[in-house]
Chains A and B, each alone.
Chain A
Amino acid sequence: MERQITCINCPVGCRLQVTIENGQVTRVEGHGCKRGETYAHQECIAPARMVTAAVPVADRNIPVSVKTRTPIPKEKIFACMKQLAVLSLKAPVYMGDVVLSDVCDTGVDVIATKTVE
Chain B
Amino acid sequence: MLSNELKQQVQYVDVLVIGAGPAGMAAAIAAREAGVENLLVLEREEHMGGILRQCIHNGFGLHRFKEELTGPEYAQRDIDKVQELGIEVRCGTTVLSVDEHRFVTAISKEKGVQLFEAGAVVLAMGCRERPRGALGTPGSRCAGVYSAGTAQKFVNLEGYMPGKRVVILGSGDIGLIMARRMTLQGAKVLACVEIMPYSGGLNRNIVQCLEDYDIPLLLSHTVVDIEGKDRLSGITIAEVDEKRNPIPGTEQHFDCDTLLLSVGLIPENELTQQAGVELSPATQGAVVDDNLQTSKEGIFACGNVLHVHDLVDFVSAESFRAGKAAAAYVQGKKRQGRFVEMKDGNGVRGVVPQRLMIPEGETEPVQVMFRPAAVYENATVVLTAGGKEIMRQRKRIFTPGEMAELTLKPEAIRQIESDTVTVDILA
Contact = CB atoms under 8 A, between A and B. Distances in A.
Given A74-B212, A81-B184, A54 B58 contact: no
A64 to B, nearest CB: 9
Contact of B155 (A54, A67, A114): A54
A51 B184 contact: yes
A49 B211 CA distance: 13
Interface stretch (B236-244, B257-265, B300-308, B395-403): B395-403
Contacts, number: 76
Contacts of B225: none
B245 interface: no
Contacts of A10: 396
A52 B402 contact: no
B56 A52 contact: yes
B71 to A, nearest CB: 8
Nearest to B205: A8
A44 B184 CA distance: 22
Contact of B72 (A53, A62, A81, A95): A95
Contacts of A62: 157-159
A11 interface: yes
A45 interface: no
A54 B72 CA distance: 12
A6 interface: yes
A101 to B, nearest CB: 19
B208 interface: yes
Contacts of B203: 6, 8, 11, 13
Contacts of B207: 5-6, 8
B180 to A, nearest CB: 9
Nearest to B155: A54
Contact of B402 (A11, A67, A113): A11
Contact of A49 (B158, B208, B399): B208
A65 interface: yes
A49 B212 contact: yes
Q: How large is the interface on A (under 10, 10 to 19, 20 to 34, 35 or more residues)?
A: 20 to 34
Contact of B56 (A6, A54, A56): A54
Given A12-B396, A65-B56, A74-B212, A54 B68 contact: no
B56 A61 contact: no
Interface string A1-42: 000011010111100000000000000000010000000000
A40 to B, nearest CB: 13
A98 interface: no
Contacts of A53: 56, 184-185
B312 to A, nearest CB: 15
Given A51-B184, A54-B56, A113 B206 contact: no
B76 interface: yes
A36 B206 CA distance: 17
Contact of B73 (A78, A81, A95): A95
Contacts of A50: 58, 68
Nearest to B206: A6
B200 to A, nearest CB: 13
Interface in B374-427: 396-397, 399, 401-402
Given A13-B203, A95-B72, A52 B58 contact: yes
21 contacts: A6-B203, A6-B207, A8-B203, A8-B207, A8-B208, A11-B202, A11-B397, A12-B396, A12-B397, A32-B396, A50-B58, A52-B58, A53-B184, A54-B185, A56-B159, A63-B158, A63-B159, A65-B156, A95-B72, A113-B73, A114-B72
Interface of B: 53, 56-58, 68, 70, 72-73, 76, 155-159, 184-186, 202-204, 206-208, 211-212, 396-397, 399, 401-402
Given A6-B207, A8-B207, A53-B184, 8 more contacts: A10-B396, A11-B399, A52-B57, A54-B156, A54-B159, A63-B159, A65-B156, A77-B184
